[in-house]
Chains A and B, each alone.
Chain A
Amino acid sequence: MKVLKRYGALYVMMVPVIAYFLVFAYYPLVKGLQTSFQDYRLMGDRPYVGFANYSAVMHDSMFWDAMVNTLVIGGGILLFTFAAPLIIALSLNEVLRTWYKKLAQMVLYVPHLLSWVVVGGIWIFMLSPDSGLVNMILVHVFHRAPFNFLADSTWARWIMIWLATWKEMGYTCILFLAGIVSINPSLYEAARIDGATRWQQLIRVTLPQLGNTMKVVFLLNTLGILRIFDEVFVLRNPTIATKVDVLMMYTFQKGILDIKLGPASAASFFVLLLTLALTLVVRRVTRFDEV
């Protein structure tokens, strides 16, 4: 009673938040698990069918295509959105003029603010074979034939990876920069006294000191791998679909467009389990807990 009187208002403050999470996070989770074991029809009864949905998904070659695409594209994005921002952050850190550093940081961050529809719209146009800027450069500067990037299945995955890197590198860069700022200046001082050049300081001091930040960034990026959706949804077209349709696209297709909620839920739970597994693996490998 005393507790309620003293903290009552605080519990009241939590009520809407807890209610929201119960209805829009926990309930769907349970519901999804249930649906994945049901023959889910919009009308009538919904009999339980055991693991039939799961086995249907497992025997669907489209699912495995989606899995391969997710791992290849997601893995590519993971590597590139790790390496590119790291290089940029190191480079920014070496810039002597503050205004230039600020300007570069600000400009590089802008694409992160834009939606995938906008980024996709811009690049579909930039890469288009007849009037896109990239092809104009190819034709006029390099005297090559125009190339339809987004209709070529060998290039499609690369373009997904490359555009995601272009969009997100400024964001991740900020995390690395923060890591660099927090490095103890006396380490640089000591290195200088020992006669280290700027390059040596970069390799011997900055990089090793960034270890923890790298782990955090890597973990955060790993969690994103299986969630790729907007980019593919916006940039895909029938010619390249088999090379770029990712797991979320598969779920969307099955669940929302074909209204096969059972198999779609089963596929979602694969994704969920994979996310958990990936997290555990990365935590283990990077020894995240020791940070």
Chain B
Amino acid sequence: MSDRFERLGWKSKAFDTLNALFLFALMLTMIIPFINVVALSFSSGVASMQPEIILWPKAFSAEGYAIVWKSLDIWRPFMNSAIVTVIGTALHVLLSSLAGYVFIYPRLPGRRIMLTFVLITMMVPQEAIMIPLYVVNKDLHLINTLSALVLSGLVSGFSILLMRSFFLNVPYEMAESAKIDGAGEFRIFLTMYMRLAAAGLATVVLFEFVGRWNMFTAPVMFINDSMKYTLQVALKAMIIDTNSNSGTYMVTTNVRMAGIIISIIPLLAVYPFVQKYFMKGILLGASKE
């Protein structure tokens, strides 16, 4: 790669500089809004309503966080989201892995039919069947329960195919020899494949974690009891719906921005550590479409 740029003339250097500046400008459009949000969230309520804060808080205070957490009880939707995300992700990964494992057996009778069965579900967007899905959830008495949100997208063709492609990298001979030693399928699956495909698992866990944490359509449809609101729905009511004066507290800008920060902390906390898995997952996912 490096020899590609060996003879750098001035034109090439100018090109490099312009290119770097272009990317820098782009990055600024991503970074500045966040710094602005952080600065506002740490300003006092009155100061945050003035058009002066850009990159640094004014009248530094953490009252926004205190109000949003305690007085506006955002911890309740936060916990609801956490429960749905953790349980939902765990089940999603388990079920998708099981199916992914099944599909690595090329000579399994009925494999083609099952694969087609799974692939068809990928063609029908969840959104296009949201009305009948609502009816199904209603008939199963799931409306206004967190179970409806755990069940929404409990398994997906995308994850199944992704797990399968990770499992295919596990040497088949290992499973073979374990089988000769008398290990059952479940044991081979749990003790060998799930461990050896840990990187793949991390990818699917992350996709699902982010997806469930950010899930919006399903809670908007299935939940209207405010005690069962998830974080995204509560946030929408708090930061977006106008004249949202929740109870006695006027929702000032610093409170809204504190809500945003609280909701993205779990995502930003995990992202840097798993970025490389993430990239790998996106690529595999796209090429297996």
Contacts and interface: CB of A to CB of B under 8 A. Distances in A.
Given A24-B136, A117-B240, A233-B220, 4 more contacts: A16-B95, A17-B96, A27-B132, A110-B30
A166 B23 contact: no
A251 B131 contact: yes
Contacts of A17: 95-96, 98-99, 118, 155, 160
Interface of A: 3, 7, 9-11, 13-14, 16-18, 20-21, 23-29, 31-32, 35, 88, 91-92, 94-96, 100, 103-104, 106-111, 113-118, 120-126, 130-133, 135-136, 166, 171, 174-175, 178, 185, 188, 192, 197-199, 216, 220, 223, 226-227, 229-230, 233-234, 237, 248, 251-252, 255-256, 261, 264-265, 268-269, 271-272, 275-276, 279
B240 A123 contact: no
B189 A13 contact: yes
Contacts of B82: none
A291 B194 CA distance: 32
A265 B264 CA distance: 35
B125 A27 contact: no
B151 interface: yes
Interface class of chain A by DSSP:
helix
B40 to A, nearest CB: 8
A31 B132 contact: yes
A272 B128 contact: yes
B76 to A, nearest CB: 17
A214 B190 CA distance: 38
Contact of A91 (B22, B36, B151, B216): B22
A171 B22 CA distance: 18
A103 to B, nearest CB: 8
8 contacts: A96-B16, A108-B27, A110-B268, A118-B235, A121-B256, A122-B33, A125-B253, A166-B29
Interface in B127-152: 127-136, 151-152
B136 A27 contact: yes
Contact of B136 (A31, A192, A248): A31
A275 B54 CA distance: 43
Interface stretch (B63-71, B167-175, B197-205, B281-289): B281-289
A229 B220 CA distance: 11
B263 interface: yes
B129 A25 contact: yes
B12 interface: yes
A13 B99 contact: yes
Contacts of A252: 130, 220-221
A169 to B, nearest CB: 9
Contact of B102 (A14, A91, A132, A223): A14
A103 B24 CA distance: 10
Given A10-B105, A17-B98, A199-B15, A88 B26 contact: yes
Nearest to B129: A28
B5 interface: yes
A84 to B, nearest CB: 9
Contacts of A185: 1
A13 B128 contact: no
A37 to B, nearest CB: 13
A186 to B, nearest CB: 12
Contact of B286 (A135, A175, A248): A175
B75 interface: no
Given A9-B186, A13-B101, A20 B95 contact: yes
A256 B289 contact: no
A256 B4 CA distance: 58
Nearest to A199: B15
Nearest to B54: A133
B232 interface: yes
A94 B128 contact: no
Nearest to B157: A21
Contact of B253 (A16, A94, A131): A131
A192 B236 CA distance: 54
A198 B15 contact: yes
